[in-house]
Amino acid sequence: MIEILNPEELSRARDTGALVGSILQSLKARATVGVNLLELDEWTKEMIADAGAESCYVDYAPSFGRGPFGHYVCTAVNDAVLHGMPHDYALADGDLLTLDLAVSLRGIAADAAISFIVGETKAPEDLAMIDATERALAAGIAAVRPGARVGDLSRAIGTVLREAGYPINREFGGHGIGSTMHQDPHVANDGRPGRGYILRPGLLLALEPWVMADTDRLVTDDDGWTLRSATGSRTAHTEHTIAVTATGAEVLTLPPSA
Ligand code: MF3
Ligand code: CO
């Protein structure tokens, strides 16, 4: 299903997006050395409840996971990249952490992810990988306009990732979003320009470039959810929810400016 939001729904989407951006920013500030992933999950649960919002994750039971996710935020450390299930692990200096969060507020969902390094020891190759996913996301957003096709966005994202030297997995990628978290169209992280669904104002998309340093192959943890690089190499993932406007894109999940 593909949803086109009316102006009133779009105004609710702005509220949800701002909430997701602000929770992620607050989690990032609290994700210091020694903090446990389960604490991050608990804080997320509290912030969602305090805002009167609902988790899109806790009861989520799609075909690509085992049973309901049962947690409030995805926490993916180092070689883990997608659907990282929070578990009893205390963050260490130099860990590359991805936080991915989707919530629904007054019936509209928003979804975003950030990758960053915990503590002081920042490996240049980790910073470069994070930077590549951020630049790929910016390129994807820059390609958004009414009349553009999904393949144009895929190609814009994929070009940045490929030129940065990373293999690209096209199975998991961006998606439509609206009254539910995962909708059509699928936005692969590489593709052919001029192909696919034609964007129109009111469409919400979650764009989410992610990479693994030296492979495009994923393996699943025993928890049935957490996806890691098959080689154990490090990974990065950056995501925003955007709205297609009359002239381009509006990014909905930005953190509140200081
Ligand atoms: N937010 C993820 C995405 O970017 C989906 C996570 S599903 C979960 O599409 F259940 F693992 F949380
Ligand atoms: Co998403």
Strand order across the beta sheet in which 183-187 lies: 183-187, 174-176, 204-207, 240-244, 249-251
Q: Do residues 244 and 145 lie in contact, with contact meaning Cβ atoms separated by under 8 Å?
A: yes
Q: Do residues 46 and 40 lie in contact, with contact meaning Cβ atoms separated by under 8 Å?
A: no
DSSP for residue 131 = H
Residue nearest to atom 11 of ligand 1 (CA): 83
User: Please, what are the domains in the chain?
Assistant: 7-251 (3.90.230.10)
Any atom of ligand 1 within 6 Å of the Cβ of 210: no
Ligand 1 atom closest to the Cα of residue 113 is 4
pLDDT tens digits for range 191-211: 999 999 999 999 999 999 999
**Residues contributing to the annotated binding site:** 83, 100, 111, 175, 182, 208, 239
CA proximity to 131, closest of 117, 110, 112:
117
pLDDT tens digits for range 82-138: 999 999 999 999 999 999 999 999 999 999 999 999 999 999 999 999 999 999 999
* CA–CA distance, 160 with 128 (Å, rounded to integer): 12
Task: Note the ligand closest to the C-alpha atom of 83.
Answer: 1
In one-letter notation, the amino acid at residue 52 is: G
Ligand 1 atom closest to the Cα of residue 101 is 1
Ligand 1 atom closest to the Cα of residue 172 is 9
* Alpha helices (runs of H) in the chain, residue ranges in sequence order: 7-30, 37-50, 124-142, 150-163
